Chains A and B, each alone.
Chain A
Amino acid sequence: MLLAMATTIALISGCKKSEEKQFVIGMSQCNLGEPWRAQMNADIAAAAAKHPELKVIFKDAQNDTLQQRAQVEEFAGSKVDLIIISPKEAQPLTEPVAHAIEAGIPVIVLDRRLLGTNYTCFIGADNKKIGKAAGEWIAKALGGHGNIVELMGLQTSTPGQDRHSGFMEGIAGTDIKIIFSADMQWLEPNARQEMESALSRSDKIDLVYAHNDDGAHGAYLAAKAAGREKQMKFVGIDALPQEGVVYVQQGILNATFQYPTGGAEAIDTALKILHGESVPQEITLNTRLFTPETVTQGGAEVK
C-alpha cells in the first residue's frame, strides 16, 4: 500500500527522486478559540497523521481578518504545496486566495464561503439541510403532532437563520405547533432563561429543539429544575465529541445532529489534488445523527 503510494508519488514527481516526496500543506484557521474550530484542526491533524508524506503547518488568525489575509500571503510566499483555509469572512479574503491560485497553489476552502468560485474546492455542511433533517426526525419522533419550544441561534447569523428555515421545511405539513420561540444567541444561560419562561407559560411541552447543544443543555437544566425534564424530549445540533455526544450518552439529549468540520474530507481531497486527480469544486458534507441507540457506533449518517 505504502509502496504503491510511493510509486504513484514518484511517477507524479517525474521519477526524479527515488525517496518519497514530502508535501507541505498550510492551514489557516480563522479562530481557534471556538471549540468547533479546535475540533476541525484536530480532525485535520488526525487525518494527516495517517499520511507520513504530508506535513501540515497550522496558523490561527485569532478572529482577525487582516491577520488571516497575511497568513494566506505568507503561505503563498513560502510556496507551500496546498493551502486549506477556513475563512473568517468572504470579501476581504477572496483576493488573497485568488492570488495564491494565480501562483499555482491549490486552495481548499472549508466551512465558510468566499465570493465567486476562484478556488480549487469548497467543503462545507449545509445548515438548512441539517435543520430539515432535524425537523423530519422530530416530526417522526412525535408522530406528527405536539407542542415544541424552539430556542434559536443568533437570528442575524446565517447558521441561525438556516437552522430555523430548514426546520420549518422539515415539519411542514404536520400538526406540530411551535408554542414558544426565542433567540438565545447560542448561549446556554440565555437558553435556560427562555426555557424557564416557556415552562411557566405552558403546561404541555413535548419537545425542545435548540439550534445548538449548549442551548438544548440549558433547556434541559431549566426543565430539570422544574421537575419536568421527563415529560419532554431535547434535540440539539453540532454533536461535538465533548459536548453534544456526551449529552446524548448521559441521557440529557434525545438526539443531536452533527455539524461536520470537514477536516478529514479536506485531507482526502488535498491528497487527490496533490496526486493530480480531479476533484469536484463543491463538496457538501452529510450530517450524522446521534441518538442513544447509535451513539456508541459514532452516530448514523443522514443522507
Chain B
Amino acid sequence: MADRPKNPLLLAIASPAGRAFLALLLVLILGTIFNGDGAFFKIGTHRDTLRQASVYGILACGMTMVIISGGIDLAVGSLLALTAVCCAKMAIHWNWSGWLVVPLCLLVGGTCGAISGAATSWLRIQPFIATLSMMVFARGLAKYASGGMKVSTAIANPDGTYHYVDVPPLFRFVDNRILSGNVSVVTIIFIVCIAFAWVLMTKHRWGRYLYAIGGNEEAARFSGVPVIAVKTMAYIFSGMFAAVAGICQAAQEQQGDPEAGVGYELMAIAMVVIGGTSLMGGRGGIGLTLLGVLTIGYLDKILSINAVPEAGRLMLTGAIIVVAVLTQRRKRA
C-alpha cells in the first residue's frame, strides 16, 4: 500500500495483534449465532473450551519460540506421549512424589529438545528433518517405555491378573478446578506457560537474540550473537513445554498413553500461525499465539456443541485457518 492509514483505530486493526484479535472476535460472533441451544452462553462451556485448548496451547508456547528462530518443531506431539508415559509410570506405578516426577519429566522433555536443537544448530540438519527424526524416535521410546500398553492404574501381576492403585495426588491436583469450579488447573498452567514465555522473549536478552537469528541468522552471527546456544535453547524450551503438556495430558486421562498426541504438533503450528507469527522466522510473539490458541480452541468448541459431523468439521477448520492466515498477511508498504 502506498499510504498507510493515519487513523489510530485503523492502525490498531491493521497491526498483527489487531488482525489476530479480529479473527478471534469473528469466531466468537459465530459462537453467539450457532450457540448449540444456548450452550455457548453457559460458563461451563467456556471453562471446558479453555481446558481443552490448554494442552495444545502449552505446546504452542514452545512452538512460537522455535518458529521465531526460523525453525519448526515436529516432535512435540511425540514428546507429549513420551512424558505422559514417563509421568504415569513414575506417579502411578512407582508412587513417586509429584515434586520428583515433574522435574524428571521436564528433564526428559528438555533432553530430547536439546538433541533436536543441537542437531539443527550445531550439526546443521534442517529443523524439519531433525525434529521429524525426534518425532519418530520419541514415539518409539514412548512405546518401549510403556511396553506398548497404556500405563494406567491397573497394574499387571506376574500371574496375568491385575491389581489397582489409586489415581496419584499429582493427577488429582492437575485435573482439578479452582475458583468455585470455574477454572481448570490446566488452564492456569497454560497461562503460567504463556507468562513465562512472554518474560523470556520480551524481557530477557535471549529473546532479542532469538528474533535477531530468525530475522537474519548470518547478520546475527556477525554481531556476536551465540547462535548455536540460543537456537538450541529454543528447542530445549519447546521440549520442556511438551513435557508440561504431557503431564497435563496424563493427569486428564488418568493414564500414560503411548499413542497420545498424534497430530498435536500440527495443531500447535496452526495456532502459532493463525496468531500471526511468521513461519519465516523473526516476526511474531507469544501474545499473538495466545490469540491463535483461543481462536482455534473456540472454533473447535463451536463445531462440537453444534454436533457438526466430522467431515464438515475438518473442511470448515481448514477453510477458516486459510482465511485467518490470509487476513494476517502483512502488506508491505
Contact = CB atoms under 8 A, between A and B. Distances in A.
Interface in A27-42: 32-33, 35, 38, 42
A210 B257 CA distance: 19
A269 interface: no
Contacts of A181: 307
The 5 closest A-B pairs by CB, nearest first: A200-B39, A196-B48, A183-B310, A246-B154, A197-B304
Given A197-B36, A200-B44, A189 B301 contact: no
A201 B306 CA distance: 9
Contacts of B143: 33
Nearest to A182: B307
Interface in A217-254: 218, 221, 225-226, 241-243, 246, 249-250
Given A33-B143, A243-B154, A246-B162, A197 B149 contact: no
B164 A249 contact: yes
A201 B257 contact: no
Contacts of B154: 242-243, 246
A226 B254 contact: no
Given A188-B253, A189-B253, A197 B39 contact: yes
Given A32-B148, A196-B52, A242 B305 contact: no
Contacts of B252: 189, 192, 221
Given A33-B148, A192-B252, A243-B152, 20 more contacts: A46-B160, A180-B307, A182-B307, A189-B249, A189-B260, A193-B52, A193-B301, A196-B48, A197-B48, A197-B301, A200-B42, A200-B305, A201-B37, A221-B253, A225-B175, A242-B152, A243-B154, A246-B152, A246-B164, A250-B164
Contact of A201 (B36, B175, B300): B36
Interface in B299-331: 300-301, 304-305, 307, 309-310
A199 interface: yes
A136 B42 CA distance: 35
Q: How large is the interface on A (under 10, 10 to 19, 20 to 34, 35 or more residues)?
A: 20 to 34
A35 B148 contact: yes
A35 B249 contact: no
B247 to A, nearest CB: 14
B149 A200 contact: no
B287 to A, nearest CB: 26
Given A38-B148, A180-B307, A226-B44, A242 B162 contact: yes
A155 interface: yes
Contact of A35 (B39, B44, B149, B177): B149
A242 B309 CA distance: 32
Contacts of B37: 201
A218 to B, nearest CB: 8
Nearest to A60: B148
B172 to A, nearest CB: 12
B150 interface: yes
A194 interface: yes
Interface of A: 32-33, 35, 38, 42, 46, 155, 180-183, 185, 188-189, 192-194, 196-197, 199-201, 218, 221, 225-226, 241-243, 246, 249-250
A197 B46 CA distance: 10
B45 interface: yes
5 contacts: A196-B45, A199-B44, A242-B149, A246-B154, A249-B164
B47 to A, nearest CB: 9
Contacts of B152: 242-243, 246
B215 to A, nearest CB: 37
Interface string B260-294: 10000000000000000000000000000000000
Contacts of A246: 152-154, 162, 164
A46 B175 CA distance: 39
Nearest to B41: A200
B16 to A, nearest CB: 29
Contact of B45 (A189, A192, A200, A225): A200
A134 to B, nearest CB: 21
B156 interface: yes
A249 B260 CA distance: 25
Contacts of B164: 246, 249-250
Interface in B139-190: 143, 148-150, 152-154, 156, 160, 162, 164, 175, 177
A99 B175 CA distance: 54
Most chain A CB within 10 A, of B37, B156, B175, B310, is at B310
Contacts of A33: 143, 148, 259
Nearest to A188: B253
B39 A201 contact: yes
A11 B184 CA distance: 71
Contacts of A194: 304
A59 to B, nearest CB: 15
